[in-house]
């Protein structure tokens, strides 16, 4: 089984783009790509064309938007599954990374997926949570009343 549908080559590229999103190649993530592709294709080993694609992947020449275009016209449910697959690859190394989160958001945008349909897959930022976390580390003084000017610190006393 050496011939592979071209979409599987593009899918492999998207998953490998995910592996390289944080600019750290983790063995767990690359193994996850192989495992997921095997699960989709069935069988005990990947076709040579996919193994070659993995071995020769060049992150610097990868074009996320062009690759995503292959799947952009798929039904919304299928595009969501693609996002879930990419998120699963990210989870393989057990590290939450902002670069990976950015990759998933860019892929979703290229697939024209409504943010409400993938918000459970990305990092959520809530300003109050960030503020309370910051206050736990460095207590902030209360805000000055309106119209009050800051006093200058005196030196040499």
The residues spanned by each domain of the chain are 6-128
pTM above 0.85, yes or no: no
Mean pLDDT, residues 107-131: 78
Question: How many Å apart are CA 52 and CA 35, to the nearest integer?
Answer: 15
Question: How many Å apart are CA 89 and CA 103, to the nearest integer?
Answer: 12
Mean pLDDT computed over every residue of the chain:
83
In Å, how far from its chain's centre is CA 49?
Answer: 25
Count CB neighbours of 19 within 10 A.
27
| Among 47-51, 109-113, 116-120, the least confident range | 116-120
**Does pLDDT of 129 surpass 80?**
no
- Tell me the pLDDT tens digit for each residue of 141-153: 666 666 656 555 5
Choose which CATH entry (1.10.10.410, 1.10.3680.10, 1.25.40.10, 3.40.50.1000) describes domain 6-128: 1.10.3680.10
Question: How many Å apart are CA 26 and CA 17, to the nearest integer?
Answer: 13
- Tell me the pLDDT tens digit for each residue of 37-62: 999 999 889 999 999 999 999 999 99
């Amino acid at each position: 089984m050496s011939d592979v549908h071209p979409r599987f080559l593009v899918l492999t590229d998207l998953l490998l783009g995910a592996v390289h999103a944080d600019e750290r190649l983790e063995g767990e993530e690359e193994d996850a790509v192989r495992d997921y592709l095997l699960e989709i294709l069935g069988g005990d080993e990947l076709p040579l064309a996919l193994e070659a694609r993995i071995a020769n992947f060049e992150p610097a020449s990868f074009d996320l938007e062009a690759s995503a275009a292959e799947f952009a016209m798929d039904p919304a449910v299928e595009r969501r599954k693609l996002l879930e697959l990419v998120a699963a690859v990210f989870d393989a190394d057990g590290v939450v990374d902002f670069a990976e989160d950015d990759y998933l958001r860019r892929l979703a945008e290229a697939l024209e997926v409504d943010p409400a349909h993938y918000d459970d897959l990305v990092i959520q930022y809530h300003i109050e949570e960030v503020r309370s976390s910051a206050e736990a580390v460095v207590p902030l003084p209360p805000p000055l009343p309106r119209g009050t000017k800051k006093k200058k610190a005196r030196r040499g006393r």
